[in-house]
């Protein structure tokens, strides 16, 4: 005998763009990709071919557009919560709504030394990602984050003192290149309902600014003894800067740059302190992850 032990479904990669026309003649734009996934009393679609409780994925997509028209899309934490809350209010047989909003960068152009009223550029590939989960009778949990933030430092990083045995080939280094693509998430203390999210709405954008600033400044300033230590320092500072955040997760690939021995070419020196030309490695890469929690923080409502 088999049983459906878990199911959810929805629309992924819903692309949405919203323009806000301000009274002063300037315009604001927001482009995002939304994923909605619903759980609830839906099993019979899988097990009995009965679709009566299925809110079509097309309906979910249309809902994203309607909600984007009726409500603010900024900050994305609010928009994701509005959508999740809507699905629970609209459909009594839906018990959990997962909403992911990925924001694509459009930075206002500077033209003639002034912010342009309606022209924007993509000046970085990093994404702001928000995941809201609205559960019936369980409030709303929100995870905010950044992904795809590519950084490199050409010095100011070391790695030594690590465990050595008969499998070890890696030499210790006191000066190396460090590069990673930052993925970080900060988990907010759960919200009782949409009204509580609205009350805290002013906290979301500054938290995003702080988390990005802390990540970049720590990366640049610390003489890093390891990716492990650097990410821990970043997470600690985010917890200190944003009181409502319970824990911070980092996932950092270590993107290696290997020295190239060119001594075969007339004794050309390109290793150790003479290294200038390196071979960037696409794979394999190190992958270092951690979660740093506020002491005494409770993950439950």
Report the binding-site residues for urate: 57-58, 159, 176, 227-228, 254
- Write out the two tokens for 203: 């906290």
Hey, which residues between 234 and 293 contact ligand URC (CB under 6 A)? 254, 286, 288
* C-alpha span between 121 and 105 (Å, rounded): 8
256 is catalytic: yes
> At its nearest, how many Å lie between ligand URC and the CB of residue 158?
9
Query: DSSP string covering 178-189, please?
Result: EEEEEEEEEEEP
Which listed residue (57, 105, 153, 212) is catalytic? 57
Non-local CB neighbours of 143 within 8 Å, separated by 6+ positions: 130, 131, 132, 185, 186, 187, 188
Query: In this complex, which beta carbon is closest to ligand URC, that of residue 119 or of residue 155?
Result: 155
Query: Between residues 27 and 228, which has the closer beta carbon with respect to ligand URC?
Result: 228
Q: Which stretch binds ligand URC (CB under 6 A): 25-33, 68-76, 141-149, 225-233?
A: 225-233
- x/- string (CB under 6 A) for ligand URC, residues 102-141? ----------------------------------------
CA dist 213 and 298 (Å) reads 26
- Across 57-123, where does the E strand assignment appear? 94-104, 107-111, 114-121
Is residue 57 part of the annotated active site? The answer reads yes
Q: What is the DSSP letter of 191?
A: B
Residue count at the site for ligand URC (CB under 6 A)? 8
Please give the Cα distance from 54 to 45 (Å, whole number): 7
In the complex, the smallest distance separating the C-beta of residue 159 from ligand URC, rounded to whole angstroms, is 4
What's the min distance (Å) between Cβ of 226 and ligand URC? Answer: 4
Q: Which of 31, 44, 142 is nearest to 84 (CA)?
A: 142
Q: Which of 88, 68, 176 is nearest to 133 (CA)?
A: 88
Residues 135-194 that bind ligand URC (CB under 6 A): 159, 170
Q: Which is nearer to ligand URC, 141 or 226 (CB)?
A: 226
Instruction: Note if 118 is an active site residue.
Output: no
**How many residues does this entry show for the chain?**
301
Binding region for ligand URC (CB under 6 A): 159, 170, 226-228, 254, 286, 288
> Mind telling me the catalytic residues?
11, 57, 256
């Amino acid at each position: 005998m088999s049983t459906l032990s878990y199911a959810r479904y929805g629309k992924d990669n819903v692309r949405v763009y919203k323009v806000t026309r301000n009274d002063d003649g300037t315009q604001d734009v927001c482009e995002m990709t939304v994923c909605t996934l619903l759980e609830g009393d839906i099993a019979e679609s899988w097990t009995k071919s009965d679709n009566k409780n299925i809110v079509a994925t097309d309906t979910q997509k249309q809902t994203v557009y309607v909600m984007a028209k009726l409500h603010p899309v900024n900050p994305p934490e609010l928009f994701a919560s509005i959508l999740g809350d809507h699905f629970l209010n609209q459909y009594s047989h839906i018990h959990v709504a997962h909403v992911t909003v990925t924001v694509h960068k459009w930075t206002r152009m500077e033209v003639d030394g002034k912010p342009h009223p309606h022209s924007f550029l993509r000046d970085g590939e990093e994404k702001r990602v928000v995941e809201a989960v609205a559960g019936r009778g369980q409030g709303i949990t929100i995870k905010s984050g950044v992904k795809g933030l590519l950084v490199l430092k050409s010095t100011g990083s070391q790695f030594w003192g690590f465990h050595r045995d008969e499998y070890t080939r890696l030499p210790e280094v006191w000066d190396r290149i460090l590069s990673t693509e930052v993925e970080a998430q900060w988990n907010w203390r759960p919200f009782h309902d949409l009204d509580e999210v609205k009350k805290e709405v002013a906290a979301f954008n500054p938290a995003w600014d702080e988390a990005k600033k802390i990540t970049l400044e720590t990366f640049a300033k610390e003489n890093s003894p390891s990716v492990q230590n650097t990410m821990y320092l970043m997470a600690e500072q985010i917890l200190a800067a944003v009181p409502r955040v319970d824990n911070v997760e980092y996932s950092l690939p270590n993107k290696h740059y290997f020295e190239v021995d060119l001594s075969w070419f007339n004794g050309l020196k390109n290793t150790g302190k003479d290294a200038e030309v390196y071979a960037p490695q696409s794979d394999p890469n190190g992958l270092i992850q951690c979660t740093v929690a506020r002491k005494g923080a409770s993950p439950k409502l």
